[in-house]
Amino acid sequence: MIEIRFHGRGGQGAVIASEMVAVAAASEGYDVSAFPYFGVERRGAPVTAFTRLDRRPIRTKCQIYEPDYVVILDTALLETVDVLAGLKESGVVLVNTDKTPADMKAILKTDRRVITVDATAIAIRNRLGSSASPIVNTAIVGAFARISGLLSLESTKKSVMDLAPVKKENNAQAAEDAYNETKEE
């Protein structure tokens, strides 16, 4: 079973990102579940969302405490949220930042694999949200597909097209751009 935890802020689309990964994985034959942190939602507040994927039927029905992947949509959260909590030894961190993976690794003070993608620049380039408040979720989903190797670009784009409420083409393009621009050192 593969467990993924997304960290974002209300309005960035972290919950929909968790759902897009689930829908794409389901189309590739995985059993899936996707859910937000069981709490109360407010715009701007920290948001946590989860996705589980497995080749067997998923029976575990509780929140995720030891993820295989942590996906960070907004580095402003690093000051207030313990984003790496419970991350497995073999775990991977995907961060939306313009910094290099090496710089990000130093900031996070972790020895886990760290991968970066400038999802904010990709979202702005594809006119998703405003430059002050870009909607970065579809770019981060594209990046996740690339780094995890779990999802093909086609199924990812299709899931983005299905679930993006508006600007479907732009969102799919953002996913593709991120798929191609994700960096690991």
Partner 1 sequence: MVKKVITGNGASANGARLAKPKVIAAYPITPQTSIIEKLALMVSNGELDAKFIKVESEHSAMAACIAAQNTGVRTYTASSSHGLALMHELLMWASGARLPIVMTDVNRAMGPPWSIWADQQDTIAQRDTGWIQFYVASNQEALDTIILAYKVAETVNLPAMSIEDAFILSHTMESVDIPEQETVDSFLPPYEPKFRLKVGEPMGFGSLVMPEGYMEFRYKISEAMDEARNVIRTVGKEFGETFGRKYGLVEEYKTDDAEVVLVIAGSVASTAMEVVDMMRDEGKKAGVLRIRSFRPFPYEEIRKVAKQAGLIGVFDRSYTGGFGGAIGTEVKGALYNSDASLPVKNYIAGLGGRDITPKVLRKIFEDMFESLNGGVKKEVEWVGLRDGSGRW
Per CB under 8 A, does 178 bind partner 1?
no
Question: Are the C-beta atoms of residues 7 and 72 closer than 8 Å to each other?
Answer: yes
Residue 82 or 98 having the CB closest to partner 1: 82
Contact with partner 1 (CB under 8 A) among 10, 11, 28, 58? 58
Give the Cα separation of 162 and 117 in Å (integer). 23
Of 62-70, 78-86, 92-100, 113-121: span binding partner 1 (CB under 8 A): 62-70
Give the Cα separation of 151 and 57 in Å (integer). 18
Residue 6 or 122 having the CB closest to partner 1: 6
Radius of gyration of the chain measured on its C-alpha atoms:
15
Give the Cα separation of 122 and 165 in Å (integer). 18
Identity of the amino acid at 3 = E
Q: With the C-alpha atoms ordered 86, 147, 112, 16, is the resulting torsion angle positive or negative?
A: negative
In the complex, least distance from residue 61 CB atom to partner 1, rounded to whole angstroms: 4
Question: Are the C-beta atoms of residues 115 and 94 closer than 8 Å to each other?
Answer: yes
Residue 61 or 109 having the CB closest to partner 1: 61
Residues 16 to 55 in contact with partner 1, rule: CB under 8 A:
19, 22-23, 26, 31-36, 38, 40
Contact with partner 1 (CB under 8 A) among 42, 43, 60, 82? 60
Residue 1 or 77 having the CB closest to partner 1: 1
Give the Cα separation of 51 and 5 in Å (integer). 7
Residue 62 or 166 having the CB closest to partner 1: 62
Residues of the shown chain interacting with partner 1 in the complex, contacts defined by CB under 8 A: 19, 22-23, 26, 31-36, 38, 40, 58-63, 65
